[in-house]
Amino acid sequence: MKQIAQYQDGRLELQEAPVPSAPPGGVLVRVTHSVISVGTEKMKVEQAKMNLLQKARARPDQVRKVLETARNLGWRAALEKVRNRLETPTPLGYSAAGVVEAVDSGNTRFRIGDRVACAGAECAFHAEWIALPDLLVAKAPEGVENWQAAYTTIAAIALQGVRQLEPRIGERVLVMGQGLVGLLVTNLLAASGCRVMAVDVAPAKRAFAEAMGAEKVVILGQQHLPDEARAWTGGFGVDSVVLCTAGNNNAPLEQAADALRDRGRIVIIGNTRADCAWKVFYEKELDVRYSRSYGPGRYDAAYEWGGVDYPIGYVRWTEGRNFDAVLHLMKTGALNLGALTTRRVRFVDCLEAYRDLLGEGAKDVGVVLEYESGAGASPAAAEARPASAPAPASRAGPLASPVDRLDVIGAGNFARTMLLPHLHGKVPFGAVVNQTALSANHVKSKFGFALAATDPAVVFEKPAASPAAVMIATRHHLHSRMTTAALAAGRHVFVEKPLCLTRGELRAIDAAVEKSSGTVQVGFNRRFAPASVELRTLLASTAGPKSASFRVMAGKLDPAHWYANYAESGGRVLGEACHFLDYFCFLFDSQPTRVSAQAVWPVEGRLPFPDTVAAQVEFADGSCGQLIYSAEGDPTWPKEELTVFGAGFVAQIQNFQKLSIHRGRKTKNLSFNSKGHAEQMRAWAAFLRGESAHPLPYEQSRLSMLLTFATLESLQQGRTVDVG
C-alpha cells in the first residue's frame, strides 16, 4: 500500500508500506478519503525543515529530553538518539474515512462493509489501509458521504472546545482564528444559537467565516478589535472567547482578555502562547480552560487501545460519542463542510498538494485526499480466518479407576444451586476456591469440602495420587486459562459454557487435550434434559433431514450485570447463544457446515455488542437450524421454545417442561421438570466413578464452539461463514 512519510529533514515521500493488521478488538479499514489538517500538518512539515537551532527553539521540550539523555548516558548516546530521530520517518494524518475490510475476533460493533470515520494521530494516517482500535472508529450514517465523514476527527476537536465553553443560547462569542478548526467552531456555535464574532488576520477568511454563520467578522490590521467588540456588545464585552490560534505570540490571549466582559470565559484549543496577565485576569475574574483534542478518552490507552469506555452517567461526551455527534450534524446539514472544502486531491498527487500548502500565500482551508477505489493489495490472505485443526483424539471410555477427589474453582450462586447439589455424595469433594473468602468458607461447610481457598493455585500445587477432577464455574474470561491448567495437571475437567472466548484459546485447549491424560466436558446441559432425550429418540427413528426453529426470549441485559462486561463474558452470543447452537448439533447429530447471522438491534449504546441475534445454520445432512435469540419481547412469553419439523411429524418443546409431538393426526403431550443440569452432573459423576463412558466427548463441545465463533464472525462480516 501507499502511505505518506515525513522525515525530520523536511522531506515528504509517498512510500510503499505493508498493509497493517487489525489490532486486538479493532478493525482494518480501506481508506477512501482523508483530510489534511492544514494548520497542524503544515506546522509539522515546517518544523521538520528547520535547522537544528531552529528546531531547538521551537521544541524546548525535546531539548530537555536530549539533555537528560546526555546526563544519564553521555553525549555520544544523546547524539545517536538525535540522529536516529532525524533519520526515522513519521506518518502524517489523523482524520479519515473508509470501509471496514477486516474485523478482529474481539470486535462486535463493526461488520465488513461498514462505512466508518476514523480518528487518531497514532493510526488514522494518510494511507491506503489503516488499522484502528474499536473506540477510534464510528459508523457513518446514511446521508453522510465518505468525504464528509473524513472531517469527523477535526470536527470533534472543534466540538470538544465548544463543550468546554458551555455556551448558552443568545450569548456573544468571539472566535479568534479562522483556520479549519476555528471555522468549525464558528459553525457549531452558530448552530447552537450563539452569536459569533469571527476574528482573523487574513482578509480571505471573511467569506469563509460568514459562510459558517459568523454574524460579525473582524480582520485584524483592517479593523480595530476593541472598538468592534465594544460596539457589537453595547460596551459590555463578549461573553466568551474560543482561542483557535497557534504560535508563540501572546497577543491573541491579550486581545481576547480585553474583549471579554466581567467573569467571561476563555477556551484555548490551539497550540498558542497563553501568559495570563494577573491584573487583567484577576480584575475581570476570567475563567480560562483548555480543550484537550477530541474529548475525554484522548491520551488514555485503556480507553483508546483497551476499549474500556467511560460510563455515560459519569462522562456524557467521550471522544467516541463526540464522533457520533458531529456525524449526526453532518447528516442534518448543520455542518457546512462544502464551504470549507477548497480542494479535493487524488491521493497519488498528495505531495503536490503539500507543496502548495507550504507555498507563499497559500489559501486552502479544507483539503480532502481521495483514494482510488480498492487501492492497494487486498489483506484478505493475511486476515483470513485460520482453518480449524482436526479435533484431538477423544478419551471417552470409562476410567480405569475412580477419581480421588473433585476440586471446584468458582462457587457462585449457579454452581451452588444448579451443579454441586447433584454431585454431593457422589464423588469426594476436595478444595473449593472462590474469589470471596466468606463464600468459599460457606460452600465448604454446606457441601463438606476438605478445604476452602481464594487462590486457584492450591488446586494444582498438590499432585493427586490417583486421577482427580476439577469443576470450573468462574466468569467466562477465565475458562480457557483454568481449563488448560487443569489439563496440564492431568485432571478431568467440567467447565461451564462457554469453553473459551477466542479461536486462539480453543487452539490452546486443543494442544492441552492432546498432551493430557485428562478429559474435558462443557456445561451444555440442555442436551441432557429428559425432553431432549425423548425428542432425539424420535428424530433418530425418522428418515431424512429436519429443520428446527429455536426461539429464545432472553430479556434485556442489565448494563450493571457482569455479562455486560464484554471482556469478562464475551457477550451474549458467546456466553449464552452457544447453548442453542450446540443444541442444533446435538439434535441433528450432523456436521454444521455454514452459518449466516445478523444482529437485529443496533450494536451500540449501553451494550456495544449483539444482544438480539438471528442465525441460520446449515448441516451436512441437509438439516437446518434457525435461532432467534432476543432481548426484546414480553415476559409472559415462554423463555425458550423449540419447534422441529421432520418427515411425518412436528415436535415442540416449551421451556423443557413440555414436549408436544404431532404425528399421524394425533398429539402426544409429555411433561418434564428439568433443563438437564441434574442429569448432566449425574452422568459426569458416573464417569468419574469409572462406571460409564464420558457423557459429552471434547470433540462435540469443540464443534459447537467452532459454530459459535463462525456465528460471531458472520455477524461481524455481514456474510455467510463456513464453520470449518
User: Rounded to whole angstroms, how far apart are CA atoms 27 and 123?
Assistant: 11
pLDDT at 373: 62
The angle, 0 to 180 degrees and rounded to 10, between the axes of the packed helices 530-540 and 578-588 is 40
Over the Cα atoms of the chain, what is R_g? Answer: 32
| 509 and 535 inside one domain | no
Q: What is the mean pLDDT of residues 53-78?
A: 66
- Going from the C-alpha of 595 to that of each of 27, 123, 612, 723, the distances in angstroms are 22, 33, 16, 7
Report residue 147 as a C-alpha cell. 468525504
| 144 and 11 inside one domain | yes
pLDDT at 7: 83
Residue 373, phi then psi, degrees to nearest 5: -65, 125
User: Rounded to whole angstroms, how far apart are CA atoms 675 and 499?
Assistant: 19
Taking a C-beta distance cutoff of 8 angstroms, is the pair 33, 127 a contact?
no
| Residue 189 in domain | yes
Report residue 172 as a C-alpha cell. 456573544
| Residue 387 in domain | no
pLDDT-based confidence at residue 393 (cuts at 50, 70, 90): low
What does the CA dihedral 203, 209, 214, 216 come to, rounded to 10 degrees?
0
pLDDT-based confidence at residue 605 (cuts at 50, 70, 90): low
pLDDT-based confidence at residue 62 (cuts at 50, 70, 90): low
DSSP 403: -
CATH number of the domain within which 463 lies: 3.40.50.720
Least confident of 390-399, 513-522, 658-667: 390-399
pLDDT at 177: 95
User: Rounded to whole angstroms, how far apart are CA atoms 520 and 702?
Assistant: 10
Q: Give per-residue pLDDT as tens, 563-574.
A: 878 788 888 889
Q: What is the mean pLDDT of residues 495-517?
A: 94
Q: What is the mean pLDDT of residues 55-62?
A: 59
Q: What is the mean pLDDT of residues 46-72?
A: 62
For residue 189, pLDDT beyond 60: yes
Non-local (6+) Cβ contacts of 599 within 8 A are 610, 611, 612, 613, 715
pLDDT at 391: 67
| 513 and 549 inside one domain | no
Helical (H) or strand (E) element with 91: strand 90-91
| Residue 575 in domain | yes
User: Rounded to whole angstroms, how far apart are CA atoms 67 and 44?
Assistant: 22
- Going from the C-alpha of 710 to that of each of 630, 642, 696, the distances in angstroms are 19, 22, 21
User: Rounded to whole angstroms, how far apart are CA atoms 306 and 694?
Assistant: 40
| 371 and 350 inside one domain | yes
pLDDT at 377: 43
| Residue 625 in domain | yes
DSSP 594: E
Q: How far apart are the first and last CA of the chain?
A: 30
Residue 67: how many other CB atoms lie within 10 Å: 12
Residue 248: how many other CB atoms lie within 10 Å: 9
- Written as one letter, the residue type at 117 is A
Which of 362, 380, 398 is the last residue in one of the domains? 380
| 129 and 160 inside one domain | no
Give me the sheet containing 12-16, strands edge to edge: 12-16, 2-6, 90-91
The angle, 0 to 180 degrees and rounded to 10, between the axes of the packed helices 225-232 and 251-259 is 30
| 651 and 530 inside one domain | yes
The sign of the dihedral angle between the CA atoms of 163, 165, 170, 175 is negative
- Going from the C-alpha of 404 to that of each of 293, 429, 492, the distances in angstroms are 61, 9, 11
User: Rounded to whole angstroms, how far apart are CA atoms 489 and 464?
Assistant: 9
Q: Give per-residue pLDDT as tens, 208-256.
A: 999 999 999 999 999 999 999 999 999 999 999 999 998 889 999 999 9
pLDDT at 211: 96
Report residue 121 as a C-alpha cell. 494521530
Q: Give per-residue pLDDT as tens, 407-456.
A: 999 988 899 999 999 999 999 999 999 988 888 899 999 999 999 999 99
Taking a C-beta distance cutoff of 8 angstroms, is the pair 262, 287 a contact?
no
For residue 195, pLDDT beyond 90: yes
| 112 and 197 inside one domain | no
For residue 374, pLDDT beyond 60: no
Report residue 496 as a C-alpha cell. 461451564
For residue 48, pLDDT beyond 70: no
Indicate the number of domains in the chain. 4
| 324 and 442 inside one domain | no
| Residue 350 in domain | yes
| 229 and 364 inside one domain | no
pLDDT-based confidence at residue 10 (cuts at 50, 70, 90): confident
Q: What is the mean pLDDT of residues 494-507?
A: 94
| 597 and 668 inside one domain | yes
- For residue 687, give the 3-state DSSP assignment: helix
Which of 271, 290, 309 is the last residue in one of the domains? 290
| Residue 399 in domain | no
- Written as one letter, the residue type at 345 is V
pLDDT at 44: 64
pTM (2 decimals)?
Answer: 0.71
Pick from 320, 497, 386, 319: nearest CA to 105:
386
pLDDT at 376: 44
User: Rounded to whole angstroms, how far apart are CA atoms 607 and 311?
Assistant: 11
Least confident of 34-43, 131-140, 682-691: 34-43
Of residues 610 and 684, more confidence is placed in 684
pLDDT-based confidence at residue 384 (cuts at 50, 70, 90): very low
User: Rounded to whole angstroms, how far apart are CA atoms 439 and 427?
Assistant: 21
Report residue 216 as a C-alpha cell. 460579525
Report residue 233 as a C-alpha cell. 456588545
Q: What angle do CA 590, 592, 593 make, to 5 degrees?
A: 125
Q: What is the mean pLDDT of residues 575-590?
A: 94
- Going from the C-alpha of 159 to that of each of 169, 238, 282, 460, 606, the distances in angstroms are 16, 20, 28, 55, 22
Cell 490507552 sits at which residue? 301
What does the CA dihedral 44, 49, 53, 59 come to, rounded to 10 degrees?
10
Least confident of 25-34, 365-374, 661-670, 691-700: 365-374
Which of 313, 346, 380 is the last residue in one of the domains? 380
For residue 375, pLDDT beyond 50: no
Domain that holds residue 78: 2-151+301-380
Of residues 61 and 492, more confidence is placed in 492
Least confident of 247-251, 471-475, 530-534, 669-673: 247-251
CATH number of the domain within which 571 lies: 3.30.360.10
| 314 and 329 inside one domain | yes
Q: Where are the strands (E) in 398-450, listed by range?
A: 406-409, 429-433
Q: Give per-residue pLDDT as tens, 272-301.
A: 899 999 999 999 999 999 999 999 999 999
For residue 465, pLDDT beyond 80: no
pLDDT at 385: 44
Going by DSSP bridges, is the β-strand pair 429-433/451-453 parallel, antiparallel, or unpaired? parallel
Residue 677: how many other CB atoms lie within 10 Å: 19
Pick from 28, 129, 26: nearest CA to 377:
129
| 514 and 533 inside one domain | no
| Residue 693 in domain | no
CATH number of the domain within which 353 lies: 3.90.180.10
* Mean pLDDT over each residue of the chain, to the nearest integer: 89
Residue 672: how many other CB atoms lie within 10 Å: 18
| Residue 267 in domain | yes
pLDDT at 39: 73
Q: Give per-residue pLDDT as tens, 336-371.
A: 999 999 999 999 999 998 888 877 778 889 999 999
The sign of the dihedral angle between the CA atoms of 246, 248, 252, 258 is positive
pLDDT-based confidence at residue 378 (cuts at 50, 70, 90): very low
pLDDT at 260: 96
pLDDT at 259: 95
